Structure 1
């Protein structure tokens, strides 16, 4: 018989917050831009996604997840791809020798 005593326990508690997300009631396409989307259409879709996030009960957990995993796409926790990129950018860049 296989000894599972050394295996880690269940991790669903780390993901349970996703079940409470306001985004679950919206279309995925609201949070992830289609290829080539630019200008006013991009801004309007992104603002609509952020409006869903604004009242979300798990917005902070979602934001923390996106920043911790460096989620490259979509609106997560009310932050766009570009906003997350700025927050994660190194503050002190070393000069190239």
Structure 2
């Protein structure tokens, strides 16, 4: 039997100190860059949105960006279908934008 590893074990930030992900705006920009090529970015962002994570960079979005998204769509309870849905080209420039 093959045991599936938890998504965070595959994250690009798995060896990054937590202070880099839960810090000021300048440091958050560096964390977002790390998220860009992360193989589990969608899993990470989905977890943050579904669980209303208040702090840190998750899946390429800061807490401010996630709060704005949650305010725009307060009734969404499962974000994965929206995140995985292909976005128009104008909305692909940033993680989660256009949702």
Same fold (TM over 0.5): yes
Normalised to the residue count of structure 2, the TM-score between the two structures is 0.65
2:41 is aligned with 1:67: no
Structure 1 spans left out of the alignment, 5+ residues: 1-11, 34-41, 93-97
- 1:59-84 deviations in Å (ceiling 9; x for gaps): 00100000000000100000000000
- 1:12-91 matches, cutoff 5 A: 16-33=6-23, 42-90=24-72
Aligned length: 72
- 1:27-67 deviations in Å (ceiling 9; x for gaps): 1100002xxxxxxxx33201101011111000001000000
Structure 2 spans left out of the alignment, 5+ residues: 75-99
CA RMSD of aligned residues (A): 1.9
Runs of 4+ in 1 over 3 A off after TM superposition: none
Normalised to the residue count of structure 1, the TM-score between the two structures is 0.67
Q: CA deviation at 1:25?
A: 2.0
